[in-house]
Amino acid sequence: MDPKDAAAARGVASDDEEDPLWLVVGLGNPGARYDGTRHNIGFAAVDFLAKSEGIAVDKVQCNAAVGKGRIGGGGKSSRVLLAKPLTFMNVSGESVGKLARFYRVPPARILVLYDDLDTAVGTTRLRAKGGHGGHNGMRSIMSHLGKDNNGKDTKDFPRVRLGVGRPPGHVPVVAWVLQGFSKGEQEGVELSIREACEAVRAVLSVGLEKAVSGVRV
C-alpha cells in the first residue's frame, strides 16, 4: 500500500519528508468579547499573517480554526497549517496536540505565537525552545506534545513571544490580560505583530537557527 494511502487508512495525514508541513499556532480566546485583548495578540498575529499571505483560516479541525498555504521569502517557502485553537486559552494544548498527531508534525515544526507579560509592548522574541513562563496556554501545549528524554513535558518547540507588558500597580494579571491595549500602545502592538510575522517567514524560509540569530527575508 502507498504510504499516503496507509496514513489515510489510519486516520492521519501523510507527511512529505521533502516538503514538510509546519504548524503555526496563534493563541487566544474564541469569541468577539476577547477581540483586541492582550491575551489574544497571538490570534491577531495569525490573522495578520493569514491576510498578508492570502491564506483563508476558515475551516474547523480538531477544535481549531485552520487554513493551509505556503509561507516564506527569498525564493524559498514551506507548507504551513495556520491554526487558532477554539478551546479557550488554558486548554489550547488539546487542540494543538490533536493537530500535531493528525498531521504528524513533530514539536520542532510547531511554531507558537503568544502574549508575554515579561516582554514590553512593541517587542517580540523568537526562541527555539523554553519553558511556559507561567503562561497557561503554553503550559497546556507542553503537556500535550509528549515527553522529553527525562520524562518531562517537552519544551523543544519554537515560539514567538509578543510583548504585552506587566500590569501596573495592583492590577491582577488575569484582569490585565483580558483588557484591551491603550491608544498609546496601538503603534507598538502593530509593530510587534508585523515583527512576529517576519519572524515566522524567516523560520519557514531560512530555517529556525538563522531566524533566531536575527536573519530576516
Q: Which CATH number covers residue 176?
A: 3.40.50.1470
Residue 60 inside a domain? The answer is: yes
Task: Specify the pLDDT at position 2.
Answer: 47
- pLDDT the model gives residue 184: 97
| 7, part of any domain | no
- Would 1 be classed as within a structural domain? no
Whether residue 120 lies inside any domain: the answer is yes
pTM of the full predicted structure?
0.92
Say how far apart CA 45 and CA 190 lie, in whole Å. Answer: 9
Quote the domain boundaries for residue 52. 19-212
Task: Give domain status of residue 31, yes or no.
Answer: yes
> What pLDDT sits at residue 150?
83
Residues 6+ apart with CB under 8 A from 5: none
Closest listed residue to residue 91, CA positions, set 133, 49, 63:
63
Number of structural domains found in the chain? 1
Packed helices 136-144 and 92-103: angle between N→C axes, nearest 10 degrees? 40
- For the chain, residues with pLDDT lower than 70 are 1-16
User: Which grid cell sits at 164?
Assistant: 504585552
Residue 3 lies in a domain: no
* 88 falls within a domain: yes
Which long-range contacts (C-beta less than 8 Å, at least 24 apart) are formed by 130-137?
A: 130/155, 130/159, 131/155, 136/89, 136/90, 137/27, 137/42, 137/89, 137/90, 137/92, 137/93
3-state secondary structure of 52: helix
Q: Which residues are catalytic?
A: 39
Please give the pLDDT value at position 177.
Answer: 98
pLDDT score at 5: 45
Say if 11 falls within a structural domain: no
